[in-house]
Amino acid sequence: MKITRWKPLSLLCGAVLVAVPTAAVAVASPAQPTAEDYYQDAIGKTGPELEAALHGIISNGVTTLNYDDVWEALKVTDEDPNNTSNVVLLYTGRSQAKDTNGGDADQWNREHVWAKSHGDFDTVPGPGTDVHHLRPTDVTVNSDRGSKDFDMGGTESAEAPGNFTDDDSWEPRDAVKGDVARMIFYMSVRYEGTDGFADLEVNDQVGNGSAPNIGKLTVLKQWNEQDPPDAFEQRRNEVIFTDIQHNRNPFVDHPEWVEEIW
């Protein structure tokens, strides 16, 4: 029988507990389930049943942040593993000092990957402050992406080479295409029209405007396959679970579930 014990992982804001296998005889704390236990109610399900099970799992016991809290959360979730004084910006990939956050050119701010106008949830606690889809981005690049849906093509961004945009869509750089897709799939499952928020649904079109939808589904599914979760994305998911919101993005842990639901 494999025995698991919690060990500390040093982070800027303090110790975070992460489950690691050891040969010791101590058992895991029941207050913090392993990832395998976390998804117990979803195992073996497919389609709508899987989606409903995941919604219940990731909506349970969540710590909700306010929008000011997001600044400090992102300094931990998106910390540069090679320079703990910096964060890594989503679209540019640039490593930038944590204390250069704000609203001026060349600073970094809080990007809603599921654009907040798609469902009109703004920055109020809930989807507007859910760090599973909030990422640090260059202020100008954040503005260039705006509230566009996701799709292939367009003109390359001068501020963020490798990203492309046109009138109604944004294509992120290859290294984060899957990250973007899995954040969108998380939001679609997490927010189902309860607690006064819109029912967010991913769909297969662009130009969704203020409707509670984001596309393009077929492209996002391709990106999920093309760019599987890497160590940075996995660490981010773990930190959010253990130290911040206490829920996980299931599509980082099980990217194959995308095909089971959509």
What is the mean pLDDT of each successive set of 10 residues along the chain, which is 262 residues long?
Answer: 32 35 34 77 97 98 97 98 98 98 96 97 96 98 97 96 97 98 98 92 97 98 98 98 98 98 98
What integer pLDDT is reported at residue 33 of this predicted model? 64
- pLDDT at position 36 is 73
Look at residue 196 in the predicted model and tell me its pLDDT: 86
CA distance 258 to 262: 6
Place of tokens 């910096």: 86
- In this prediction, residue 24 carries a pLDDT of 32
In the chain, where the domains are located = 35-261
pTM value is 0.87
